[in-house]
């Protein structure tokens, strides 16, 4: 593959900012420095621009079946949107297939079957990708299969303390999974809410005739997230295993994470943009279903505490939990010149328990965080890179191939224009849905060019990538605790 030289840019890493040229050969960074020979080399002049390592989104749900529909971005459309937002690596989720009845003739059930069918679905990705395993059942057979996961390139397990009867496993099973993970260099991810309390509150709300989206938040209390986080930290401490708290949404989780880390526990945390910007007031809007996700958006005080947790290093990463649905899936949108409509939030009109949970954000993450985080002085540019690229790459066993612009790293380079101003919204979004949470936001700072392993895939508004050019990233066990 040809050689590329990106000149005159300012490189931003997780710890430093400096002028540097980047020489790329065969899709990898060959050297970082100055005075490289440009003869016979394609040159990209990045004067006045920043050079960032491609974003790593550690938490996305592509083509996820839910409530009789599926999340509306598949592995192609979601990864294309990711690229337009400056993200070149995503980590999706493998689901466990239903148990295989004996003598059914089905060759692969369980973990192996789940990974095999996810690999087929994910082949059309346009940026590089990996997956976590959703551990939504636990028995002797599943426990016996878990150690084979790293051999399939998957080193992380997500467990749930909510979604009773669907995704939740009991505390004893979480404890056993933590010990297996510890013994095989794997990491457990936790969705922290109190499933029992949610079930009681939902039944009471429905009996009382409450049907609107705000009741989604009112039946999923913040204290449930706080106690479930502390409970899981205690299980992790007892198992002497690492744990990563996904989609932190409430101030008390930040306090619990800080408390646990100060005591030397190997625990880490992730939040998502929706928990930094939105509140349950948004759920009370006429189009409140657009903001409905689990865990729910909380209060302005929670937003503020999460920002503090990012700035002071208590929280390690910002993912998206990208899980989009149409707001009105009866009305088609144009996607790549063709009409498409996918059933979405309207499925729950008149009953908040039937609204598909989740919202879009895979493309929005870097642009909104740059403006609202770096632009406002809440985060430095280096913290921005650490939280959205380097830390997730380290925690999930992808560093320094991803999350860095070092010699030998993949040449996933974002040429970032810190001065570019846009009025953001669905018209600029490639997320395959009919709305954008940041409609009308005035943003300053956008990706100008995005390279995936040295290939230009986004040039301004032009899409140069294609389905299937993303590579599966097998991850190594034993990734460092951050
Ligand atoms: O509402 C959300 N976040 N849907 C995705 C599933 C999850 O728990 O992350
Ligand atoms: Zn979750
Ligand atoms: Zn999720």
> Quick one: average pLDDT of 253-276?
98
Position 167 scores a pLDDT of 96
> Is omega for the bond preceding 320 within 30 degrees of 0, making it cis?
no
Cβ–ligand 1 contact at 290 (below 6 Å): no
Mutate which of 294, 319, 352, 437 for ligand 1? The one with the most ligand atoms within 8 Å of its CB, which is: 294
d(CA 9, CA 18): 9
Distance, CA of 161 to CA of 480 (rounded, Å): 25
For 3, residues 6+ apart whose C-beta sits below 8 A from its C-beta are 23, 24, 25, 30, 40, 41, 42
User: Could you tell me the distance, in angstroms and rounded to a whole number, from the CA of residue 198 to the centre of ligand 3?
Assistant: 18
Average pLDDT over residues 122-146: 97
The reply to whether ligand 1 has any atom less than 6 angstroms from the CB of 191 is yes
Could you say which ligand is closest to the alpha carbon of residue 291? 1
Please report which helix (H) or strand (E) contains residue 236, including its range: helix 222-239
Tens of pLDDT, residues 62-115: 999 999 999 999 999 999 999 999 999 999 999 998 887 777 776 667 888 899
Does the beta carbon of 61 lie inside 6 Å of ligand 1? yes
User: Do the beta carbons of residue 290 and residue 359 sit within 8 Å?
Assistant: yes
357 lines ligand 1 (CB under 6 A): yes
* Residue 205, strand partner residues: none
In this structure, which CATH number among 2.70.50.30, 2.30.40.10, 2.70.150.10, 3.10.20.30 belongs to the domain 3-52+403-463? 2.30.40.10
Q: What are phi and psi of 52, to 5 degrees?
A: -115, 150
Q: CA angle at residue 275 from 435 to 92, to 5 degrees? A: 70
Residue 321 beta carbon below 6 angstroms from any ligand 1 atom: yes
CB of 365 sitting under 6 A from ligand 1: no
Residues of the chain with CATH 2.30.40.10: 3-52+403-463
Question: Which residues have CB under 8 Å from 16's CB, separation 6+?
Answer: 382
Q: What angle do CA 93, 292, 202 make, to 5 degrees?
A: 100
Peptide bond into 295 cis (omega under 30): yes
Distance from residue 325's CA to the centre of ligand 3 (Å): 14
Give 465's pLDDT tier (boundaries 50, 70, 90): very high
Indicate if ligand 1 lies below 6 Å from the C-beta of 132.
no
Ligand 3 is a single-atom ion; what residues have CB below 5 A from it?
321
Q: Whose CA is nearest to atom 8 of ligand 1?
A: 294
Whose Cα sits closest to atom 2 in ligand 1? 358
Query: Percentage helix, strand, coil, to 5, in the chain?
Result: 30, 25, 45
Atom from ligand 1 closest to the CA of residue 292: 1
Unique residue bearing structure tokens 């400096």: 18
pLDDT digits 0-9 by tens, 212-255: 999 999 999 999 999 999 999 999 999 999 999 999 999 999 99
Q: What is the CATH number of domain 54-395?
A: 3.20.20.140
Where along the chain do the CATH 3.20.20.140 domains lie?
54-395
pLDDT in tens, 124-135: 999 999 999 999
User: What mean pLDDT is predicted for residues 328-338?
Assistant: 98
Q: Is ligand 1 within 6 A of the CB of residue 322? A: no
Pocket test for ligand 1, best of 133, 319, 357 (most atoms within 8 A of CB): 357
Residue 10's DSSP bridge partners are 19, 50
Site to probe by mutation for ligand 1, drawn from 323, 325, 355 as the one with most ligand atoms within 8 Å of Cβ, is 323
C-alpha 57/C-alpha 50 separation (Å) is 20
Find the 94 Cα to ligand 1 centroid distance in Å: 14
Which of ligand 1's atoms lies nearest the C-alpha of 191? Answer: 8
pLDDT (average), residues 168-189 = 98
* Residues in CB range of 152: below 8 A, 6 or more apart: 112, 115, 474
pLDDT beyond 80 at 178: yes
The structure tokens 């059930």 sit at 109
- The answer to whether residues 125 and 87 touch, using CB atoms and an 8 Å cutoff, is no
pLDDT of residue 85: 98
Q: Give burial (CB, 10 Å; 0-12/13-18/19+) of 220.
A: buried
The pLDDT, as a whole number, for residue 37 is: 85
Q: For residue 61, which atom of ligand 1 is closest to its CA?
A: 5
- Does the Cβ of 437 fall within 6 Å of ligand 1? no
Cα separation, 28 vs 25, whole angstroms = 5
Is the CB–ligand 1 distance for residue 161 below 6 Å? no
Q: Could you identify the atom of ligand 1 that is nearest to the CA of residue 246?
A: 9
């Amino acid at each position: 593959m040809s050689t590329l030289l990106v000149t005159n840019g300012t490189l931003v890493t997780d710890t430093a900012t400096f002028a540097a040229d980047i020489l790329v050969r065969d899709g990898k960074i060959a050297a970082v420095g100055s005075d490289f020979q440009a003869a016979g080399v394609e040159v990209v002049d990045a004067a006045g621009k920043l050079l960032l390592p491609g974003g790593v989104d550690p938490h996305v749900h592509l083509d996820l079946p839910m409530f009789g529909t599926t999340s509306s971005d598949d592995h192609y459309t979601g990864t294309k949107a990711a690229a337009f937002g400056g993200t070149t690596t995503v980590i999706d989720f493998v689901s466990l297939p239903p148990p295989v009845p004996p003598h059914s003739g089905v060759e692969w059930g369980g973990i192996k079957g789940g990974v095999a069918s996810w690999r087929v679905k994910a082949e059309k990705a346009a940026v590089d990708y990996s997956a976590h395993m959703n551990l939504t059942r636990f028995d002797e057979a599943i426990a016996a299969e878990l150690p084979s996961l790293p051999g399939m390139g998957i080193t992380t397990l997500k467990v749930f303390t909510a979604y009773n009867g669907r995704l939740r496993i009991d505390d004893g099973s979480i404890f056993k999974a933590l010990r297996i993970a510890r013994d095989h260099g794997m990491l457990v991810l936790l969705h922290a809410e109190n499933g029992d309390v949610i079930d009681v509150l939902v039944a009471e709300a429905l009996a009382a005739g409450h049907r609107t989206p705000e009741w989604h938040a009112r039946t999923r209390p913040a204290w449930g997230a706080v106690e479930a986080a502390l409970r899981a930290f205690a299980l992790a401490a007892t198992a002497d295993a690492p744990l990563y708290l996904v989609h932190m949404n409430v101030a008390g989780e930040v306090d619990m994470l800080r408390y646990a880390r100060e005591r030397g526990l190997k625990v880490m945390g992730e939040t998502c943009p929706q928990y930094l910007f939105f509140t349950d007031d948004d759920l009370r809007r006429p189009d409140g279903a657009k903001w409905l996700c689990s865990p729910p958006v909380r209060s302005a005080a929670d937003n503020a505490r999460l920002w503090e947790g990012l700035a002071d290093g208590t929280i390690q990463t910002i993912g998206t939990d990208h899980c989009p649905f149409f707001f009105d899936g009866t009305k088609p949108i144009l996607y790549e010149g063709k009409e498409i409509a996918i059933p979405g939030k309207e499925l729950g009109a008149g009953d908040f328990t039937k609204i598909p949970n989740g919202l879009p954000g895979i493309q929005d993450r870097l642009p909104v965080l740059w403006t609202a985080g770096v632009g406002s002085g809440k985060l430095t540019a280096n913290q921005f890179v650490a939280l959205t690229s380097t830390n997730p790459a380290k925690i999930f066993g992808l560093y320094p191939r991803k999350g860095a612009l070092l010699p030998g790293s993949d040449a996933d380079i974002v040429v970032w224009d810190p001065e570019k101003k846009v009025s953001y919204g669905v018209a600029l979004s490639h997320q395959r849905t009919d709305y954008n949470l940041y409609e009308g936001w005035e943003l300053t700072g956008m990706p100008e060019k995005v390279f995936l392993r040295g290939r230009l895939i986004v040039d301004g508004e032009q899409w140069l990538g294609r389905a299937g050019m993303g590579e599966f990233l097998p991850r190594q066990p034993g990734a460092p605790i951050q």
